[in-house]
Amino acid sequence: MVTFDEIQQASRTLDGVAHRTPLLHSSTFNRLTGSEVWFKAENFQRIGAFKFRGAYNKISSLNAAEKRRGVIAHSSGNHAQGVALASKLLGVRAVVVMPEDSVLSKVEATRTYGAEVVFCGKEFDDRARLTAELQARYGYVLVHPYDDPKVIAGQGTVGLEILQELPNLEYLLVPVGGGGLIAGSSIAAKRLKPTVKVIGVETEHANDAYQSFRAGKIIRIDRADTIADGIRPLSLGSLNFEIIRQFVDDIITVSDDDVIAMMQFFLERTKTLVEPTGAVAAAALSKNKLSISGKTMCAVISGGNVDMRGLKALL
């Protein structure tokens, strides 16, 4: 399990390294929803997503011998960049396994931060297989994208900052992929305000967490067909699921169309670029999926990394 103290420790580790991202609001959105809504803007985080927090917290926790061995991660997206930048800042060698059909800009960004990119096949399982192989051969330390206490504690600083700045918060909405962000954030939020409701949000064709929450056990889906790439992990991590069962109040879903409409709203109204996964939690509010109003709410914008070609296709 991960404790509140470990999240506070992560917050000290990240102080001056990660950005303390702003809480945005939109009077138009408040009028539309009838609530007081805040957006935690992790699209303004270093590397453009919250993933930097967990990666840095994990890698900085390694001992000298582990740091000399270097780290390995597999990711097609933000975790790759988070591990690459964190490693560079900490002087640790990083290898990132990416699918051969990754978006070129994400590969380039990962390399720009100094990581070595190794390509694998397109199937999700290919990544883990090659990563394990390289790990065994070269002794690299794995930086898991979500199923790791240090990663969860790092992501939990998102929830910590929100409740520090919004002590009267009533609802916290968080997108759910592997579950790192919501696990850490729910621990922090519930400790600072036990009555806050923490709601996970997925897209409807990638709803493994929704199913798992209801079944009381981890459900793995066969495919995750969604525009929100951060929601695509086919199942929750086991550590993440245990925390979610304990601290999360519900998991709900939105459609991909809801997500695209929300991205456009962010662009038009707040002049900010939000990636599909980053718009998932806010979309649940714009569609009033909780059927409530008059509350103080915060939706986490998990990131803002959108390929320009991908953005063009969405407009």
**Where along the sequence are the contacts to a second copy (CB under 8 A)?**
43-44, 48, 105, 264, 267-268, 270-274, 304, 308-309, 311-312, 315
**CB 279 → a second copy: shortest distance, Å?**
12
**Least distance (Å) from a second copy to the CB of residue 51?**
15
Task: Give whichever of 94 and 109 is closer to a second copy, judged by the CB atom.
Answer: 109
Rg (CA), the chain: 18
Tokens representing 64?
A: 């000298």
Minimum CB separation of residue 264 from a second copy in Å reads: 6
Burial class (CB in 10 A: 0-12, 13-18, 19+), 111: middle
Residue 54 or 278: the one with the smaller Cβ distance to a second copy is 278
CB nearer to a second copy: pick between 27 and 291: 27
Residue of 51, 58, 67, 150 marked active site:
51
The secondary structure element, H or E, covering residue 184 is helix 180-192
Q: Minimal distance in Å, beta carbon 25 to a second copy?
A: 12
Q: CA 311, CA 53: separation in Å to the nearest integer?
A: 25
Decide whether 179 or 278 has the Cβ nearer to a second copy. Answer: 278
Nearest distance from C-beta of residue 42 to a second copy, angstroms? 10
Distance CA 54, CA 42 (A): 13
- CB–CB of 199/173 below 8 Å? yes
User: Residue 32's CB: how many other CB atoms inside 10 A?
Assistant: 15
51 is catalytic: yes
Choice between 137 and 271, CB closer to a second copy: 271
**Structure token pair of residue 148:** 């790791």
Is position 122 annotated as part of the catalytic site? no
Q: Which of 299, 301, 285, 300 is nearest to 34 (CA)?
A: 285
Whether the Cβ atoms of residue 75 and residue 113 lie closer than 8 Å to each other:
no
Kindly report the number of other CB atoms within 10 A of residue 84's CB atom: 28
Catalytic residue set: 51, 302
